[in-house]
Homo-oligomer: A and B are copies of this chain.
Amino acid sequence: EGFITMGNCCDRPKDTYIRVSLPAVCFVWQIAMVVLFGVFIRYNEESDAHWPEYKKKQNITSDAENDFYYRYPSFQDVHVMIFVGFGFLMTFLKRYSFGGVGFNFLIAAFGLQWALLMQGWFHSLDYNTGKIYIGIENLINADFCCAGCLIAYGALLGKVSPVQLLVVTLFGITLFAVEEYIILNLLHCRDAGGSMVIHAFGGYYGLAISWVLYRQNLNQSKHLQGSVYHSDVFAMIGTLFLWMFWPSFNSAIANHGDGQHRAAINTYVALASSVLTAVAVSSLSHRTGKLDMVHIQNATLAGGVAMGASAEFMITPYGALIVGFCCGIISTFGFVVVTPFLERKLKLQDTCGIHNLHAVPGMLGGFISAIVAAAATESVYSKEGLVSTLGLEGKFANRSPGTQGGYQAAGTCVAIAFGLVGGAIVGFILKIPIWGDPADDNCFDDEVYWEVPEDEETIHPVLEYNNHMTHKQTESNFTLEQS
C-alpha cells in the first residue's frame, strides 16, 4: 500500500531544487560525525604520542616496525584508486564529467568517515574503554568501504541526485560493515582484496538499486548517454590508475612480508592477462575488428577484481594468469551481450556496466578463492605459512583447508545476498519523491546540479563581435555555432 502511494507521488513533475536538502544533509551529517568521533575515535598505540613508551614495553627496536611504514605506500595507492581511479572512470559521459568525478568525491569523503565508525565498532572497539583505536589499516579499510558505494554509483551514474547518493552511501557503508563482519569475522573468510565484500556486494547493491529505480523513458536522454572524444581520454586516466594500483589494493591489508609481496605479484600478472583477452574479444565483436573504448576502460580491470579474494594465496603466477584470462573474456562479453540484454529483458539500466566489471568478476573471485583455499596443502604453504595465509588460528585452528574453501563460497553468497536485498530496500527508499532526482529527459546532464560554463563561444572577442553584428541574418547559424 505504501508503495502504491509512492508510485503516485513519482508521477509529479520532477523538482531538482536541492538548496535545502543537500546542505542540510551535509551539515547534519558532518556535525554527527564530529560528535561520534569525539565520543568514540582515538589514536591507536602506533599513532599515539605514547608510541616511544609502547615501543620500549613491546621491545620494538625500530620505528620502521610501525605499521605505517608497511602500509602507507599501499594506502596512498588505494586512495588514488578511490578518488582519481573511480572518479575519472566515471567522466566518460559527454556531459556528466562534473557529476562523475565530483559526486564520486562527495560520496567517498562522506563515506570514509562513517566507515571509520562502522568498521571501528565491529573491528577496533576496545570493550574496556569503549573507544575505537585507529591507525593506517583503518584508513585503508575505510577507503575499501567507500569503494563498495562507488561501484554502486557506477550503475546509477547520471540518474540520481547528490542527496540520493548520500542516502545510497549511508546505507551502503552500514550494510558493508555488517556483511564484512559476518564474512570476515563470523565465517572467517579470507578476502584481502575484497572480491566478495567489496566487488560482489557493491556490484549487486548497485544493480538492485538501479533495478528498482528503472526509468521507462530514459531514452529521452539518449543523446547524452554516450561519450565524446576527450571524455573517453579522461576516463582512461581513471582506468589506468585503477589498473596500475590494483596490486596495492589487493596487497594493502595482506599479511606483512610474503603476504603483501605475493598478493602484488598475483594481481600484477592477472591484470596483464585481462588486457590481452579484453582486447581480443573487443576486436572480435566489431565487424572489421575495431576496438571499443568501453571495453578497454573496463574489462581490462576484471582480472584485478577476480584476484581479490585469493591474491594472498599460493595461486601461482600461472593460476593468476588464467584468472585474468577468463575474466577479461567474460567481462568484455558482458559489455557486448549481457548489459544490453539486462536492459531490454530485466529492465535493468546499468550506466557503467558494473555488472560486468564488479558483480560477476567479484562473484567469480569469491568462488575461485574457495577452490584455491580448498586445494591448499602444507607442502606448498609450509606449516606456518598455511596457518597465517588461511588464518587458521585461534578458534579456527582446527578448520581444514577444505572447510575453509566451503566458507569462502558461503561468504560470497552472503555478500551477494546483502547486496541484492539491501539494494532493493534502498531503491524503494530512493523512490520517495523528496530527493530531487532528475526527470527522464534530464538525465546524464551536469546542468541539473552544476553551474556549467558557457562553452567556447566567448573565446575570441572578434568572433563575439562578428556574432553580434551578423546576429539578425545568421540566427540559425549562430545557434548551431554554440554546439
Known: A63-B257, A105-B300, A466-B476. A453 touches B227 (CB 8 A): yes
A192 within 8 A of B: no
B463 touches A483 (CB 8 A): yes
Select which of B22, B98, B243, B287 is within 8 A of A280 by beta carbon. Answer: B22
Closest residue of chain B to A239 (Cβ to Cβ) is: B105
Known: A47-B262, A382-B52, A466-B479. A18 touches B134 (CB 8 A): no
- A-B contacts, 10 of them at CB < 8 A, read A21-B289, A30-B321, A49-B314, A51-B258, A84-B241, A95-B229, A106-B276, A110-B276, A232-B453, A290-B448
Contact residues in B for A69 (Cβ distance below 8 Å): 64, 69-70
* Complex-state Cα separation, A224 to B101, whole angstroms: 25
Interface residues of A in 393-451 (CB under 8 A from B): 436, 441, 448-451
A167 within 8 A of B: no
A83 touches B243 (CB 8 A): yes
A204 within 8 A of B: no
* Complex-state Cα separation, A481 to B483, whole angstroms: 8
B64 touches A70 (CB 8 A): yes
| A63-95 interface bits toward B, Cβ cutoff 8 Å, 1 = contact, 0 = none | 111111110111011011001100110010011
A177 within 8 A of B: no
Q: Can you add 15 more A-B contacts, CB < 8 Å, to A293-B453, A459-B483?
A: A26-B283, A29-B276, A37-B269, A41-B316, A50-B381, A52-B385, A53-B384, A84-B240, A101-B240, A105-B300, A228-B455, A228-B456, A290-B451, A457-B483, A463-B483
Contact residues in B for A33 (Cβ distance below 8 Å): 273, 321
Contact residues in B for A478 (Cβ distance below 8 Å): 480
Contact residues in B for A79 (Cβ distance below 8 Å): 244
B48 touches A258 (CB 8 A): yes
Interface hub of A247, A248, A265 (most chain B Cβ within 10 A): A265
Interface residues of A in 296-332 (CB under 8 A from B): 296, 300, 314, 316-318, 321-322, 325
Which DSSP category, helix, strand, loop or mixed, fits chain A's interface?
helix
* Complex-state Cα separation, A477 to B314, whole angstroms: 63
* Complex-state Cα separation, A48 to B266, whole angstroms: 11
Select which of B66, B280, B290 is within 8 A of A258 by beta carbon. Answer: B66
B236 touches A34 (CB 8 A): no
Closest residue of chain B to A38 (Cβ to Cβ) is: B318
A289 touches B91 (CB 8 A): no
A9 within 8 A of B: no
Chain B nearest CB: distance from A383 CB in Å? 8
A30 touches B276 (CB 8 A): yes
A113 within 8 A of B: yes
B20 touches A289 (CB 8 A): yes
| A207-230 interface bits toward B, Cβ cutoff 8 Å, 1 = contact, 0 = none | 000000000000000011011111
* Complex-state Cα separation, A261 to B68, whole angstroms: 6
* Complex-state Cα separation, A436 to B268, whole angstroms: 30
Contact residues in B for A73 (Cβ distance below 8 Å): 72-73, 76
A43 within 8 A of B: yes
Interface residues of A in 8-35 (CB under 8 A from B): 16-23, 26-27, 29-31, 33-35
* Complex-state Cα separation, A269 to B36, whole angstroms: 13
Chain B nearest CB: distance from A209 CB in Å? 22
Select which of B23, B105, B280 is within 8 A of A281 by beta carbon. Answer: B23
